[in-house]
């Protein structure tokens, strides 16, 4: 018996991996994060037990896994996006290890990847940015030392900020000294869902644009000079004068 932590992707049921979909359709027990994972992701399942974990606490979730293990049943534990990124699977894994219950993580498409696809942009352009910082805004939960937004912004790399739209004004204030008020920024609401929406602006005007849209939650902030930038060097990978093992 194995607990499979499955990344369901950002919302579009078609963006789940083939392996993740196969496991959802074959595992006899499904525990899914109903507040973020659409039920369409579970389509075709033959599970004998399907539980929405949105209203459960950790001990209740582990009890369900423990019961399935006792009955020799595999569990599809379905999270949104990629479960290894803000998926709160660390504490579940710790409990499973203490109980000697096997587990496996099935990667999923992240919200950052979905937003980049929606905006039609590459997040790592030559000469502009070769790094992507995935982080969150410190609201109720403090950030570790050295990970405050202002400190990360000093790198001026492409940045994806989770859980921050309600504090957009504070975020803009921390980013502007490092990126400049003309730096492009996008706020994407529910990327890949049927009601997806987004707005693109600069650090100088993004607050007003988001206020018009009325985004309050389930939004990702992308900031960096890669957005809407067509002035950059071509990658050496496909340059005619660049030789490598497959193209001498």
- Secondary structure percentages of the chain, helix, strand, coil, to 5: 35, 20, 45
SS (H, E, C) 142-182: CCCCCCCHHHHHCCCCEEEEECCHHHHHHHHHHHHHHHCCC
State whether 152 and 184 are in the same domain: yes
Q: Are strands 132-136 and 219-223 parallel, antiparallel or unpaired?
A: unpaired
Range(s) of the domain holding residue 42: 3-106
Can you tell me which residue has the tokens 């008020």?
181
Query: Which CATH number goes with the domain that contains 142?
Result: 3.30.950.10
pLDDT tens readout for residues 99-149:
999 999 999 999 999 999 999 999 999 999 999 999 999 877 788 998 999
Cα–chain-centroid distance for residue 150?
21
d(CA 180, CA 128): 14
Q: What pTM was estimated for this model as a whole?
A: 0.90
pLDDT, residue 48, reads: 96
Which of 106, 130, 165 represents a domain boundary (last residue)? 106
Whether 133 is covered by a domain: the verdict is yes
Q: What is the DSSP string of 32-43?
A: E-TTTS-GGGGT
Instruction: Say what the pLDDT of residue 141 is.
Output: 74
CATH number of residue 91's parent domain: 3.40.1010.10
**In Å, how far from its chain's centre is CA 237?**
28
DSSP letters for 198-233: EEEEETTTHHHHHHHHT--SSEEEEESTTTT----P
Residue 246 lies in a domain: no
Residues of the chain with pLDDT under 70: 236-247
Convert the pLDDT of each residue in 41-60 to its tens digit.
999 999 999 999 999 999 99
């Amino acid at each position: 018996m194995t607990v499979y932590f499955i990344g369901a992707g950002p919302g579009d049921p078609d963006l789940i991996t083939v392996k993740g979909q196969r496991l959802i359709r074959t595992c006899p027990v499904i525990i899914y994060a109903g507040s973020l994972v659409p039920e369409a992701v579970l389509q075709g399942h033959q599970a004998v037990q399907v539980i929405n974990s949105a209203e459960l606490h950790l001990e209740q979730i582990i009890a369900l896994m423990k019961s399935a293990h006792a009955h020799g049943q595999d569990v599809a534990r379905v999270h949104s996006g990629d479960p290894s990124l803000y998926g709160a699977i660390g504490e579940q894994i710790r409990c499973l290890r203490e109980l000697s219950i096997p587990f496996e993580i099935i990667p999923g498409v992240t919200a950052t990847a979905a937003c980049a696809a929606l905006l039609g942009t590459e997040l790592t352009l030559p000469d502009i940015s070769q790094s992507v910082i995935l982080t969150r805004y410190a609201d109720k939960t403090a950030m570790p030392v050295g990970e405050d937004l202002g400190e990360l912004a000093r790198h001026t790399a492409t940045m994806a900020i989770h859980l921050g739209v309600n504090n957009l004004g504070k975020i803009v204030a921390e980013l502007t000294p490092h990126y400049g008020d003309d730096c492009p920024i996008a706020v994407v609401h529910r990327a890949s869902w049927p009601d997806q929406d987004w707005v693109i602006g600069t650090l100088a005007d993004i607050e007003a644009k988001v206020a018009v849209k009325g985004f309050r939650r389930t939004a990702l902030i992308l900031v960096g000079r890669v957005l809407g930038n067509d002035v950059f060097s071509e990658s050496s990978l496909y340059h005619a004068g660049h030789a490598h093992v497959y193209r001498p």
